[in-house]
Amino acid sequence: MSVYKLAGPQENYYWAPAQFKFNADRLENLLLRYASGDSQDLDEIQRSYEILVSKFSLISKPSDTTQVQLSVPDYVQAIAAIRHCLQTIDPLIVDLQPGDRSTARVIAGHLHALDESTLRLAQGIGEAENKRRDIALEDFRHKRRVLWASCISAASLTSTLLIALTIATYRGMRAAWRERTWRIAEQSATAAANASLKAKSAFLGAIGHEIRTPLQTISAGLSSLADAELSTRSMRAVLRMEQAAEQIDAQLRDLADYARLDAGKLKLRIAPVDLIDIVQQVATQMRPMAALKRLSVRIDTRGIVWLIHSDQQRIRQILLNLVDNAIKYSTQGDVLIRATQHIAASECVTRIAVTDHGIGIPEQAKEKLFEPFVQLDDGNTRSHTGIGMGLAIVDGLVRLLGGHITVTSTLGVGSTFEVTFRESTDSLIRRAQPNDDSRSALPDTPLCGKQALVVDDQPQMRDALVALMRSLGLAVTAVDSAWDARVMLSQREVDVALIDLQMPGEDGASLARWIRKTGAPHSKLIGVSASAPELLSETQLAMFDELLMKPVRIDALRAAFENLLDGASS
């Protein structure tokens, strides 16, 4: 390798001064054009001057590039002369006004005088190059001596380094292999978990659909029997069968809800919620169940002043499960539902407590209390019904709603489950009083004479819905396919249509879309599904005015009809 190559490309040291000279000539040319009236662009002159100053900074400040040049007297003198010139023209550039041609000529003259200084810069660089070559040659000779010494030392370490490198490579390959094995195992476990989750959801969906369809027939038949004139003994039998059907439906809903909670697919519908209404509804619904065990259900909602922002359906589900659990494990006394609110700092703290006088909960059992399929008297001798999902769902729903649940219990005395929610006071809405206009009930809308259509491929489900709707006074037509529904609606419109979402061939959502566009655009559409709303797409939900889950209860059906048909008539 030659000394020239070690010294590097000499033209690099001329590059910065050449750029400075180029920008100085350019600025001089701009000033002369301005002075002659060919240009009026002061901004361009200012920018060119700023570039010139930056180029001067590159050749004047100490750096690796200018280290040798600054040791040459001619180079230093040239830099000083250029600096003096720039200091002279700087205030002139700053104060240059539009149309001031004489000042522009003066500045151009100063710049023209820089030619001699830039020539001296080039001469200084030449001297610096000679000096640098001498330094590079001496540096080369020194490095050559050091290189020979280093080669001798390196040779003695080569074998050691090769051995160490071999060992490190081997260890690295083993670590990479282990990491790859772990990654594959983790991916396999994740894939297996996802497959299991999908299979579980598909299984629950299929089971729910297959069970809810015949359950609808049973529920509809029992509702018809309950309205008939029966003996006391027969009526008791009907009531027991209704409770059994409701229990099956509740257990199916629990399984489906827990699967959606576990998969993170349970969606919330947040809106202002009146806790007093929910507590009263739950108490009314659970009192017949409590009466069978000679228990009473009491409520205390005197502390409720504000509406809370939450999901009404899920709050009701939490309370139903807690009260059901309290009744299940109580043998005497009453079950108390107490709801309170108080303002703490900038938060509204809402507490809902359910207290029973049951068997109590052992300390060791509290750890597993909110796990699925767990009961206090688990085993072959257990005396209570259910599959042990209620508290697991309560815990999941409370956490999903941003609250927390606590349990206090004394063996032989009873237990209290307390749910706490916190909400900013900025979003609070005061609860309307019973005599407010906003709480006045809407007048009932008669359903007699309203034209209705049922579309369901299952004969049992279709007949059950027809029986329920006729008991409400509607004139009902039933078909078993979307095609038959299209034919019928092409001939006449109906006030309301109940459509099963899961049908072979054309499904319910597709039929509803056709009705909206072509068939009977003014008809109210109610979707009927064995799947929970969270498992349906937004497109499917958007097609319907209401969605009912199987088995359809007559009270839910009546409420949907009155809501939709009353809105249509008004």
Token pair of 392 as six digits:
């697991």
166 within some domain = no
- Count Cβ atoms within 10 A of the Cβ of residue 543 and give its class: 0-12 exposed, 13-18 middle, 19 or more buried: buried
Among the candidates 109, 142, 175, a domain finishes at: 142
pLDDT of residue 8: 47
What is the SS3 assignment for 21?
Answer: helix
Identify the burial level of 308 via C-beta atoms within 10 angstroms of its C-beta, where 0-12 means exposed, 13-18 middle and 19 or more buried. buried
pLDDT at residue 372, rounded to an integer: 73
**Domain CATH code at residue 419:** 3.30.565.10
Do residue 423 and residue 461 come from a single domain? no
Structure confidence at residue 568 (pLDDT): 53
Same domain for 279 and 419, yes or no, is: yes
pLDDT at 429: 81
**Does residue 418 share a domain with residue 512?**
no
3-state secondary structure of 389: coil
Residue 455 lies in a domain: yes
Residue 2: per-residue pLDDT: 46
Contact between 94 and 157 under an 8 Å Cβ cutoff? The reply is no
Is 392 in contact with 370 (CB distance < 8 Å)?
yes
* Shared-domain flag, residues 402 and 484: no
Element (H, E) at 11: none
Q: Identify whether 104 is part of a domain.
A: yes
Same-domain pairing of 492 and 416? no
* Number of domains comprising the chain: 3
Secondary structure of residue 502 in the 3-state scheme: coil
Domain boundary among 97, 125, 142: 142
* Residue 220 in domain: no
Residues 398 and 511 reside in one and the same domain: no
Do 293 and 421 have their domain in common? yes
Q: Are 412 and 359 in contact (CB under 8 A)?
A: yes
Q: pLDDT tens, position by position, for the chain (570 residues)? A: 444 444 444 446 677 788 888 888 888 888 888 888 887 888 888 888 889 888 888 888 877 667 667 777 777 888 888 888 888 888 888 888 888 888 888 888 888 888 777 777 777 776 767 777 777 788 888 888 888 888 888 887 888 888 988 898 888 888 888 888 888 988 888 787 667 766 666 666 666 666 766 777 787 777 767 666 777 777 777 777 876 777 677 777 777 777 777 777 778 888 888 999 999 999 988 888 888 888 999 999 988 888 889 999 899 999 999 998 899 888 888 999 999 999 888 889 999 999 998 888 888 887 778 877 666 555 443 445 555 567 888 899 999 999 999 999 988 889 999 999 998 887 778 776 554 443 333 344 467 778 899 999 888 888 888 888 888 888 899 999 999 998 888 888 888 999 998 888 888 889 998 988 875 677 889 999 877 676 677 777 888 988 888 888 888 888 888 888 765 554
99 and 15 co-located in one domain = yes
Q: What is the pLDDT of residue 174?
A: 87
Query: Which domain range does residue 70 map to?
Result: 3-142
In a domain, 413, yes or no: yes
Residue 231 in any domain: the answer is no
